[in-house]
């Protein structure tokens, strides 16, 4: 019997697979803690007792802007401690605590459970050496942004210092950690279900009109945008190009891909380009994006990056062939990838998304930016075509090449699935997670 405690403001998030595994065994006791305003909308996992704490009030506008997030982190840490104290008083004494500390929830765990092993999720270390700061010439980092980046890891550093061990999903993320933390860090990828994400030639996808989309913010397209009024049915007989961002923004290359669209459409006017993701327009604490919203002084009325690019390309793109879907249910997103003849994934040197691995498992031919996180999952002309992140022309030519060379696309897709099965399948990583947790639990019992 194993007693586990998961702490993540947006649980289950990265812990879905491992929490599901332990929750499925009634002999285990699994408790999870998250922000009540988030977790009420998140999927429930059988066998997991999910508890919510009230989200902390935001920091004062008079607080120094480097400290605003940290102040909220401290308040969030306090809220978690109050909930942990209740659990302890009710007799719950976990064998291992797994925490994602980026929002402050790992700051004060030791006050309640001083002897319980803590495994912290090391997602992205920031600082002066953050490779994303100088990556995009469109958005050069100011001295103020560099200072903010250096301070932004304060919460992580405090939480990591008190953890027994750290885990991080990729070599890229591991290499960003300071050496003192690397000594206690193990690379543990979250794992993706290869049985769920798989090819299926018979897939048919029906996209509703934008105004009936589940995500209302993506229905708020400019008045001039040609809105479909009928559902759109797509199959493997159609030319489908796919692109996914959690939020359409520069960190994931939306602005560069958008600039590739005129050239792609000139070569393949019949193509349907399916764009999955929220419009966002804010930072991580707001709409879920990684970078800042558009500068209001520069972009004026355009409050999100989708609309910035719509305005820039207004007369050069056939917008009737572009389909903004908003955030899709996982099954619908998977079916979209199954239809893709070219899936484009671009990223700053930053945390790797799940979507390129999911696309690999669906055998979608990939166009990847030639950046470190992408080079970790594929090789050029073996499992994907690599392009210069900053070159719309290269991106367009790679997509066109895949559409015009179906045998190449097939070969890359098959090879990509085989590699993802070997290196990123949940069946590969789950035993490693279990061993890590068992080792920590045994440390406590000894």
For residue 262, being part of any structural domain is answered with yes
pLDDT at 285 over 50: no
User: Do 99 and 237 belong together in one domain?
Assistant: no
User: Do 94 and 209 belong together in one domain?
Assistant: no
Of 258-272, 306-320, 350-364, which gets the smallest average pLDDT?
306-320
Contact 44, 70 (CB under 8 A): no
For residue 99, being part of any structural domain is answered with yes
Q: What is the pLDDT of residue 283?
A: 41
Report the pLDDT averaged over residues 419-434.
98
Report the pLDDT averaged over residues 5-12.
96
Give the pairing of strands 272-278 and 240-247: parallel
User: Do 419 and 348 belong together in one domain?
Assistant: yes
* Buried b or exposed e, range 390-426, using 16+ CB within 10 angstroms: bbbebbbbbbbbbbeeeeebeebbebbbebbbeebbb
Domain hosting 39: range is 3-191+426-445
User: Do 144 and 258 belong together in one domain?
Assistant: no
Q: What is the pLDDT of residue 344?
A: 98
Per-residue pLDDT of 338-396, as tens digits, reads 999 999 999 999 999 999 999 999 999 999 999 999 999 999 999 999 999 999 999 99
Q: What is the pLDDT of residue 217?
A: 53
Q: What percent of the chain has pLDDT over 90?
A: 76
For residue 197, being part of any structural domain is answered with no
pLDDT at 327 over 90: no
User: Do 316 and 172 belong together in one domain?
Assistant: no
For residue 198, being part of any structural domain is answered with no
User: Do 257 and 363 belong together in one domain?
Assistant: yes
In the structure, what pLDDT confidence band is assigned to residue 239 with cuts at 50, 70 and 90? very high
User: Do 39 and 178 belong together in one domain?
Assistant: yes
Q: What is the pLDDT of residue 127?
A: 79
Q: What is the pLDDT of residue 298?
A: 67
pLDDT at 286 over 80: no
Report the pLDDT averaged over residues 6-22.
96
The CATH number of whichever domain residue 149 belongs to comes to: 3.40.50.2000
For residue 178, being part of any structural domain is answered with yes
Q: What is the pLDDT of residue 326?
A: 86
For residue 276, being part of any structural domain is answered with yes
In the chain, the number of structural domains is 2
Residues 6+ apart with CB under 8 A from 351: 123, 124, 169, 173, 373
Of 119-128, 187-196, 255-264, which gets the smallest average pLDDT?
119-128
Per-residue pLDDT of 126-184, as tens digits, reads 877 788 998 999 888 889 988 998 999 999 999 999 999 999 999 999 999 999 999 99
User: Do 68 and 119 belong together in one domain?
Assistant: yes
Between residues 335 and 283, the one the model is more confident about = 335
User: Do 299 and 432 belong together in one domain?
Assistant: no
User: Do 232 and 306 belong together in one domain?
Assistant: yes
For residue 200, being part of any structural domain is answered with no
Q: How far is it, in rounded angstroms, from Cα 170 to Cα 190?
A: 10
Q: What is the pLDDT of residue 130?
A: 85
User: Do 252 and 159 belong together in one domain?
Assistant: no
User: Do 157 and 216 belong together in one domain?
Assistant: no
Q: How far is it, in rounded angstroms, from Cα 415 to Cα 124?
A: 29
For residue 101, being part of any structural domain is answered with yes
């Amino acid at each position: 019997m194993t007693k586990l405690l998961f702490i993540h403001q947006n649980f289950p998030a990265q812990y879905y697979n491992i929490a599901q595994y332990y929750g499925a065994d009634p002999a285990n006791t699994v408790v999870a803690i998250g922000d009540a305003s988030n977790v009420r909308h998140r999927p429930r996992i059988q066998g997991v007792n999910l508890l919510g704490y009230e989200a902390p009030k935001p920091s004062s506008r008079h607080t120094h802007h480097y400290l605003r997030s940290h102040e909220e982190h401290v308040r969030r840490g306090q809220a978690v401690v109050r909930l942990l104290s209740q659990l302890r008083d009710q007799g719950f004494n976990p064998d291992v605590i797994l925490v994602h500390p980026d929002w402050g929830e790992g700051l004060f765990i030791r006050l309640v459970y001083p002897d319980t092993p803590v495994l912290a999720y090391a997602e992205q270390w920031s600082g002066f050496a953050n490779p994303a700061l100088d990556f995009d010439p469109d958005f050069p980092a100011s001295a103020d942004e560099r200072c903010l980046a250096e301070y932004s890891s304060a919460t992580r550093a405090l939480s990591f210092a008190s953890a027994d061990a750290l885990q991080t999903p990729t070599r890229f993320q591991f290499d960003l950690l300071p050496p003192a933390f690397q000594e206690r860090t193990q690379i543990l990828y979250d794992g993706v279900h290869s049985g769920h994400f798989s090819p299926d030639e018979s897939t048919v996808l029906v996209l509703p009109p934008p105004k009936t989309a589940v995500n209302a913010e993506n229905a708020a397209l400019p008045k001039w945008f040609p809105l479909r009024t009928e559902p759109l049915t797509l199959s493997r007989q159609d030319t489908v190009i796919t692109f996914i961002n959690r939020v359409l923004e520069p960190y994931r290359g939306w602005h560069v891909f958008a600039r590739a669209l005129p050239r792609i459409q000139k070569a393949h006017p019949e193509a349907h380009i399916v764009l999955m993701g929220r419009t966002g327009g804010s930072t991580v604490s707001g709409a879920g994006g990684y970078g800042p919203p558009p500068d209001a002084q520069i972009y004026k009325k355009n409050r999100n990056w989708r609309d910035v690019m719509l305005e820039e390309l207004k007369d050069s793109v056939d917008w009737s062939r572009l389909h903004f879907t908003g955030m899709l249910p996982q099954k619908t997103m998977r079916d979209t990838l199954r239809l893709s003849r070219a899936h484009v994934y671009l990223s700053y040197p930053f945390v790797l998304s799940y979507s390129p691995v999911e696309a690999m498992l669906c055998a979608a031919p990939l166009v990847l930016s030639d950046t470190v996180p992408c080079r970790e999952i594929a090789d050029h002309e073996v499992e994907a075509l690599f392009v210069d992140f900053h070159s719309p022309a290269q991106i367009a030519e790679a997509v066109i090449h895949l559409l015009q060379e179906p045998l190449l696309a097939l070969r890359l897709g098959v090879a990509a699935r085989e590699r993802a099965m070997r290196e990123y399948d949940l069946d590969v990583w789950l035993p490693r997670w279990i061993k890590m947790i068992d080792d920590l639990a045994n440390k406590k019992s000894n």
